Amino acid sequence: MIYGVKEVSKKMEMGRNFLYISLIAILMVASFSIPAYSQMSIREIRDDLIKRSDLADTLAVFSGSGYGKAQYVAPEGIIVVVYPLFSDEGVINQKNLDLFFSKIGEVFASTKYPANIMFNIYVDVGKESSLIVRFPAKAMYDFFKEKITRSDFLKQCEIWINGEKAVVEGDIIKVTGEEFKMNFKF
């Protein structure tokens, strides 16, 4: 079958139109599939954090009980400060560190904050101990939805124990002289 110039030109135009319509359809589907939480305003994030203020207290697992306070501060992200009720000699051990990470999931994994927001959690453990954990919300959501493993989540965390940056190897958090094998779930 031999086509003339007009027929070829018409078929090419139909092909281009099909391509444009397909591209527009793909973009529309992609825009509707973007989670609504990516559009959350600063005010909505702060209001949600106020509602979770009692839950943030549950992060004080190192010294028995304590308080937690969460705030959103742009551009740093969500800042959570946890401090003990008493200035007891709190310690960081494998059991309470594991419990701490599971409590993070209990408090925040069901949130709908933008995936690129950073969580910055600062914990006053006792008179001489402290813990800092930083991670992007997306890592927490992916772990909660079982899209990534615990070790993949931990690799995306920046962890400081007693002022020393921890090294993460698989499910193990290491600092000088100590190793913590993590087994937490959200």
**DSSP characters over 113-135:** --TTPEEEEEEE-SSS-EEEEEE
Are 154 and 123 within one domain? yes
pLDDT of residue 54: 86
Domain span at 27: 5-33
Side by side, which strands form the sheet with 66-73?
66-73, 77-84, 118-124, 130-136, 158-161, 164-165
Are 29 and 44 in the same domain?
Answer: no
In the numeric block, which tokens belong to residue 124? 């006053």
101 & 146 share domain: yes
**Within this chain, do residues 26 and 42 fall inside the same structural domain, yes or no?**
no
Residue 170 has pLDDT above 60, yes or no: yes
Residue 186 inside a domain? The answer is: no
Domain count, the chain: 2
Residue 134 domain-assigned (yes or no): yes
Rounded Cα–Cα distance for residues 42 and 37 (Å): 11
pLDDT number for residue 28:
43
Q: Are residues 128 and 161 in the same domain?
A: yes
Q: What is the pLDDT of residues 44-90, one digit of tens each?
A: 999 999 988 888 899 999 977 889 999 999 999 999 999 888 766 67
What digits encode the pLDDT tens for the residues 96-144?
A: 999 999 999 999 999 999 999 999 999 999 888 999 999 999 999 999 9
Amino acid 40 reads M
Q: What is the pLDDT of residue 37?
A: 40
Residues 9 and 64 in one domain: no
**175 & 86 share domain:** yes
- In this structure, are 95 and 127 located in the same domain? yes
> pLDDT: is 10 or 36 the higher one?
10
Residue 36 confidence (pLDDT) above 60: no
Q: Model pTM?
A: 0.77
Position 25 confidence tier, pLDDT thresholds 50, 70, 90: very low
Instruction: Output 157 or 14, whichever has higher pLDDT.
Output: 157
Are 103 and 128 contained in the same domain? yes
pLDDT at site 138: 97
User: Does residue 171 share a domain with residue 126?
Assistant: yes
- Identify whether residues 120 and 159 lie together within a single domain: yes
